[in-house]
Structure 1
Amino acid sequence: MSGFRFLQFNIQFGQVWDASDPDNAPIDLDQTIAEIRRHDADIITLQEVEQARSDGQQADPPPNFQRLRAALPEYHAHFSYPKADPRELPFGIGLAIFSKTPLHERMRQDLPSPRVEFDFFGETKTPTDRVLIGAKTTIAGHEVTIYNVHLLAFFMLKTSSETHGGQRRQVAELLRQSDGPTLLAGDFNVSRPGPLIDQYEAVGFQTVQDETITWHRMPFVLDHIFYNESLRCVEHEIVRTEVSDHLPLRADFEFVD
């Protein structure tokens, strides 16, 4: 194998897309699993694996991740919740990496959120911290570094990650230190991707695509796969599906020798 297939997908804890009532759409993780399996990717990055509890408690073991592991027995896996926080709102949390080749040097890094106040059904709230996870694997004799991230959606708080750039800078510094084939994938929650792309290009990374919308709820390109000069993207596709409010991004890569 001279290359590999990569799948990036925010699964929103298995909640399907219903344009008429998106917040009350049913949860069907079996559909999510079927969508993931049909791409037969070598590496998979997932966001919003679990549904958060409003009290900040985190189920251990994480139930959706356990079901995904059972349904993907040929994969090695790495999962992490963000830091537990009683302020957590009942949306999606938790990141996972799946790889057909063994994972090593697993890591996680907290991404602090600023204390930006926002209204949530009449209550003043501040956002919880986010997390980045990573691991390495070996494909065709090449050691590949994989990072997976889910940044705070500042546009939902009436501000931007350009104004509050701490999380983006923290990730950029990690990329700056990368050595060898490296990929960064995830839900970057940026409504204007241009400045984000410029920022990561400055540390040697380009995105697979920045034109096709990846979110059903608003016409934004939120999901990306960034890669460095040790890799070449030979094909990519934004997959039309309604098994989540996000669309999967699939890309095929080759090594640049």
Structure 2
Amino acid sequence: MNFLAKTYQLLALTINFIAGGLLLISAYSYLIPPDRFSLPYFFTLAFPVFFFIEILLLLQIFIRPRKYVLLPIAFLLLSFQAVQNYFPTHFEGKDNKMGKISLLSYNIRSFVQSKPTDNGKSNTVLDLLRNSGADIICLQEYNTVPSGSNHQLSQKMVEKVLSDYPYHHVFKPTPWNSGIACFSKYPFKNIEPIPFDRSQNGACLYQFDIDGKSFSLINCHLESNHLEPKDRELYEQIAKNPTQSTDLLPQAKSRLLGKLKRAGTERAKQARLIRQIADGITGAVVICGDFNDTPQSYAYRKIRDDFSDAYVSTGFGPGITYNEQGFWFRIDHILYNNVLRAVDSRIVRQKHSDHYPLRATLQWNTKND
């Protein structure tokens, strides 16, 4: 083997080990709380990038001897659970004929992107909610005004359009910001707001009696990254031309990474609180909402723990729920304990907010009866 061939082989081996190592780090960095050590948190955000690189390395099978793909295969197998979380591969839902409970979670961005309908009496977000067919609707960034219009809705206008949901509750952690809301076809048995320390966001626990069984639901909106339009423009500019944007990297480090670090730290604390509350509840428990974090994050994994994810259990593909200015992530989730089972979950791809609605259909798990 000549010198060039040996050099190429060594280089290829080095690239494979580096790429595989980064994939594994990003797959397991969720184990480290970002409020204790923040660096691993940034690796969790980059998991899809490292996964894509590993897939490209796997394609070596078409141009090189098959032994060279053993490393990418090994690294992909070692990160299999993370891959499944990000890219579930279920082609159709399960049987959902009996005892189903449908739930919709949606960050509506205070209705700011909604538009009046042709009849001028409603708007696109409200029409989507009214026609969703969901039994329970959980909303984040919910905001109304005292006297409404088609773009700025009053609570009275919302309740009129969503008249099929006679039971509703709105919780605003701070009076000057948006809050979270729940609209239900089932009456509430108990409602407990869950404020977060030093945060404009919050959560709320709703408890129902459904089919004679206890059903508890936590609607949460975890800490936002507080990225402003100019932050997103900076990110988009770097993402489109990384080689020509090196002069922007110091600015990105100070602006973007600082905000992401602070938000990730707060979400870690909020996630522990949510999970602590969920662990104290008996019967069926569902946790849903805008987590502002990906399936590989500490916050998501802490809240999920031994729960199941409706989209991971029944969905297909990356399931992007946030799509705005170059940011494409699944940060909205519906989790449930083993008293329930998911029969379907899907992203409603209608662009009336910076988020897409996430819908799931659940059933009582007869194996636990």
* TM-score, structure 1 normalization: 0.77
Structure 1 segments unaligned to the other structure (5+ residues): 18-25, 52-57, 114-127
Map of 2:333 onto structure 1: 224
* CA–CA separation in structure 1 for the residues paired with 2:347 and 2:289: 14
* CA–CA separation in structure 2 for the residues paired with 1:105 and 1:60: 30
* CA–CA separation in structure 2 for the residues paired with 1:151 and 1:59: 26
Higher strand proportion: 1
Map of 2:171 onto structure 1: 80
| Cα 1:107–1:63 shift into 2, 3 Å | farther
- Cα distance, 1:27 vs. partner? 7.5
Aligned partner (choices 242, 245, 248) of residue 351 of structure 2 = 242
| Cα 1:81–1:47 shift into 2, 3 Å | same
| Cα 1:231–1:153 shift into 2, 3 Å | same
* CA–CA separation in structure 2 for the residues paired with 1:64 and 1:246: 22
Map of 2:109 onto structure 1: 12
Aligned partner (choices 289, 292, 310) of residue 208 of structure 1 = 310
Map of 2:99 onto structure 1: 2
Aligned partner (choices 151, 155, 161) of residue 71 of structure 1 = 161
Aligned partner (choices 112, 116, 121) of residue 197 of structure 2 = 112
Once the two structures are superposed, residues 116-167 of structure 1 have per-residue CA deviations (whole angstroms, 9 ceiling, x without a partner) of: xxxxxxxxxxxx4322112111222222111111111237423155533211
Conserved? CA contact 2:323–2:355, under 8 Å: yes
Which letter maps to 1:10? N
* CA–CA separation in structure 2 for the residues paired with 1:40 and 1:219: 27
* CA–CA separation in structure 2 for the residues paired with 1:36 and 1:161: 29
Once the two structures are superposed, residues 172-205 of structure 1 have per-residue CA deviations (whole angstroms, 9 ceiling, x without a partner) of: 1111112111111111111464433321233x32
Which letter maps to 1:208? A
Conserved? CA contact 2:189–2:209, under 8 Å: no
Decide which structure has the larger Cα Rg and report it: 2
In structure 2, the residue corresponding to 1:244 is in which secondary structure?
coil
Aligned partner (choices 204, 219, 237) of residue 133 of structure 1 = 204
* CA–CA separation in structure 2 for the residues paired with 1:131 and 1:161: 14
* CA–CA separation in structure 2 for the residues paired with 1:16 and 1:148: 22
- Cα distance, 1:227 vs. partner? 0.7
Conserved? CA contact 1:155–1:190, under 8 Å: no
Aligned partner (choices 133, 142, 148) of residue 213 of structure 2 = 142
Counting only pairs closer than 5 Å after superposition, residues 110-189 of structure 1 correspond to structure 2 as 110-113=195-198, 128-154=199-225, 156=227, 157-159=259-261, 161-164=263-266, 165-189=268-292
| Cα 1:45–1:193 shift into 2, 3 Å | farther
Most deviating of 227-236 and 204-213: 204-213
* CA–CA separation in structure 1 for the residues paired with 2:343 and 2:154: 32
Conserved? CA contact 1:78–1:96, under 8 Å: yes
* CA–CA separation in structure 2 for the residues paired with 1:59 and 1:108: 22
Once the two structures are superposed, residues 86-140 of structure 1 have per-residue CA deviations (whole angstroms, 9 ceiling, x without a partner) of: xx6xxxx111111111112111011113xxxxxxxxxxxxxx4322112111222
Conserved? CA contact 1:161–1:168, under 8 Å: no
Structure 2 segments unaligned to the other structure (5+ residues): 1-97, 228-258, 313-317
Measured on the aligned residues, the alpha-carbon RMSD in Å equals 2.6
Once the two structures are superposed, residues 199-254 of structure 1 have per-residue CA deviations (whole angstroms, 9 ceiling, x without a partner) of: 1233x322222631101211111111111111100011101101111101111110
In structure 2, the residue corresponding to 1:219 is in which secondary structure?
strand
* TM-score, structure 2 normalization: 0.55
| Cα 1:221–1:103 shift into 2, 3 Å | same
Conserved? CA contact 1:193–1:222, under 8 Å: no
2:300 matches 1:197: yes
* CA–CA separation in structure 1 for the residues paired with 2:336 and 2:329: 21
| Cα 1:63–1:30 shift into 2, 3 Å | closer
Map of 1:97 onto structure 2: 182
- Cα distance, 1:46 vs. partner? 0.5
Conserved? CA contact 2:105–2:138, under 8 Å: yes
* CA–CA separation in structure 2 for the residues paired with 1:190 and 1:14: 22
Map of 2:139 onto structure 1: 46
In structure 2, the residue corresponding to 1:173 is in which secondary structure?
helix
| Cα 1:197–1:152 shift into 2, 3 Å | closer
* CA–CA separation in structure 2 for the residues paired with 1:104 and 1:60: 30
| Cα 1:196–1:139 shift into 2, 3 Å | same
